[in-house]
Structure 1
Amino acid sequence: MKLISKTLQIFMLCLVVTLVSCKEEYPDLEDGLYAEIVTSKDTMIAKLFYDKVPVTVANFVALAEGNHPMMGDEFKGKPYYDSLTFHRVMDKFMIQGGDHTATGGGNPGYKFTADFDASLKHDRGGLLSMANSGGFNTNGSQFFITEVPYQSLDAFDDDGELKPCDQPRVSCHSIFGELVKGIEVQDAISNVAVDPRSKKPLENVYILKVNIIRKGSAAKSFNAPKVFESELPNVEAEIKQIQDDKKGKLEQEKKERDEKMATASAETKSTLDEYTTKTTALASGLKKHVLTEGTNAKPKPGDSVRVYYEGYFTDGRLFDSDRVEISEKYGMFNQRRADANQYGPTAMWVSPNAQMIPGFKEALATLNIGEKAFFYLPSHLAYGERGNRGIPPNTDLTFIVEMVNVIEKK
Structure 2
Amino acid sequence: MQLISKTLQFLMLCLLITGTSCKEEYPDLDDGLYAEIVTSKDTMIAKLFYDKVPVTVANFVALAEGTHPMVADEFKGKRFYDSLTFHRVMDKFMIQGGDHTATGGGDAGYKFTADFHPSLNHDRGGLLSMANGGGFNTNGTQFFITEVPYPSLNAYDNEGNLKNCEQRGVSCHSIFGELVKGIEVQDAISNVPVQPRSNKPLENVYILKVNIIRKGSSAKSFNAAKVFEEELLNVEAEIKQIQEDKKSKLEEEKKEREDKIASASVGTKTMLDEYTSKTTALPSGLRKHVIIEGTGTKPKAGDSVKVYYEGYFLDGRLFDTDRVEIAKKYGMFNQQRMDANQYGPTKMLVSPDARMIPGFKEALTSLNVGDKTFFYLPSHLAYGERGNRGIPANTDLTFIVELLEIVKK
Alignment TM class, shorter chain as reference: over 0.9
- Cα deviation code 1:303-331 (max 9, x no counterpart): 22221111001111110112222212211
Q: Is the 8 A contact 2:14 2:22 kept in 1?
A: no
Contact 2:296 2:370 in 1 (8 A): no
Match in the other structure for 1:121: 121
Report what 1:261 is aligned to: 261
Displacement of 1:168 in angstroms is: 1.6
Match of 2:341 in 1: 341
1:30 Cα deviation after fit: 1.2
**Worse-matched range after superposition: 351-360 or 311-320:** 351-360
Q: Summarize the alignment of residues 170-189 of structure 1 with structure 2, pairs less than 5 Å apart.
A: 170-189=170-189
One-letter code aligned to 2:59: N
- SS of 1:246 mapped into structure 2: helix
1:118 maps to amino acid: P
In the alignment, the residues of structure 1 paired with residue 387 and residue 323 of structure 2 have an alpha-carbon distance, to the nearest angstrom, of 24
Identity in percent? 79
State how many pairs are aligned.
Answer: 403
The residue number in structure 2 matching 1:50 is 50
TM (norm. structure 1) is 0.94
Matched with 1:309 is 309
Distance between the aligned counterparts of 1:336 and 1:200, measured in 2? 34
1:17 Cα deviation (Å)? 6.3
TM-score by length of 2: 0.94
Once residues 325 and 149 of structure 1 are traced to their aligned partners in structure 2, the CA distance between those partners, rounded to angstroms, is 36
Q: Letter of the 2:387 partner, please give it.
A: G
Matched ranges for 1:180-199 at <5 A: 180-199=180-199
* Letter of the 1:285 counterpart: G
Q: Aligned residue for 1:401?
A: 401
What is the aligned partner in structure 2 of residue 3 from structure 1?
A: none
SS at match of 1:179: strand
| Partner SS for 2:132 | coil
* Structure 1 segment 145-294 matched on structure 2, within 5 A: 145-294=145-294
Alignment correspondent of 1:14? 13
What SS does the aligned partner of 1:193 have?
A: coil
SS of the aligned residue for 1:180 comes to strand
Residue 364 (structure 2) aligns with: 364
What corresponds to 2:355 in structure 1? 355
Contact 2:14 2:21 in 1 (8 A): no
Q: Which residue of structure 2 aligns with residue 25 of structure 1?
A: 25
**1:4 alignment partner in structure 2:** none
Per-residue CA deviations over 1:357-377 (Å, capped at 9, x if unaligned) read 110111111111111111000
Question: Shift in Å at residue 198 of structure 1?
Answer: 2.7
Q: Which moved more, 1:214-223 or 1:311-320?
A: 214-223
> Structure 1 residues 16, 352: CA separation in 2 closer, same or farther (over 3 Å shift)?
same
Q: Secondary structure at 1:403's aligned position in 2?
A: strand
Matched, 1:78 2:78: yes
- 2:404 alignment partner, SS class: strand
Distance apart, 1:194 and its partner CA: 2.0
- Give the CA deviation at 1:9: 10
Q: What whole-Å deviation, never above 9, does each CA across 1:128-187 have from its counterpart, x for those lacking one?
A: 111111111111111111112222111122222212111222211111111111111112
Give the corresponding residue for 2:324.
Answer: 324
Q: Which amino acid aligns with 2:178?
A: E
Shift, 1:93, TM fit:
1.7
Pairs within 5 Å for 1:102-117: 102-117=102-117
| Distance in 2 of aligned mates of 1:349 and 1:228 | 61
Measure how far apart 1:21 and its partner are. 4.3
1:237 Cα shift?
A: 1.1
Q: What does the per-residue CA deviation read over 1:340-364, in whole Å, with 9 as the maximum and x for residues that have no partner? A: 3322222222222221111011111
Shift in alpha-carbon separation, 1:9–1:236, aligned structure 2, 3 A: closer
SS at match of 2:100: coil
Unaligned runs of at least 5 residues, structure 1 = 1-6
CA offset at residue 38 of structure 1? Answer: 0.6
| Cα distance in structure 2, aligned partners of 1:298 and 1:277 | 25
Provide the secondary structure at the position in 2 that maps to 1:140.
Answer: strand
* SS of residue paired to 2:188: helix
Distance 1:374 1:113, change over 3 A: same
Residues of 2 paired with 1:54 and 1:269: CA distance? Answer: 57
Q: What CA distance in whole angstroms lies between the structure 2 residues aligned with 1:378 and 1:170? A: 39
Task: Give CA-to-partner distance per residue, 1:382-401, whole Å, 9 cap, x none.
Answer: 11111111111111100011
The offset of 1:273, in angstroms, is 1.4
Query: Cα distance, 1:22 vs. partner?
Result: 3.8
Whole-angstrom CA distance in 1 between matches of 2:42 and 2:158: 36
Query: Which amino acid in 1 is paired with 2:115?
Result: D
RMSD of aligned C-alpha atoms? 1.9
Q: How much has 1:8 moved relative to structure 2? A: 12
Separation in 1 of the partners of 2:134 and 2:404?
Answer: 47
The question of whether the paired residues in 1 share the 8 Å contact of 2:95 and 2:146 is answered with yes
Compared CA separation, residues 367 and 192, structure 1 to 2 (3 A): same
2:41 counterpart SS class = coil
**Whole-Å Cα distance in 2 between the matches of residues 271 and 223 of structure 1?**
70
Distance, in Å, in 2 between the alignment partners of 1:120 and 1:226 is: 24
Unaligned stretches of 5+ residues in structure 2: 1-5
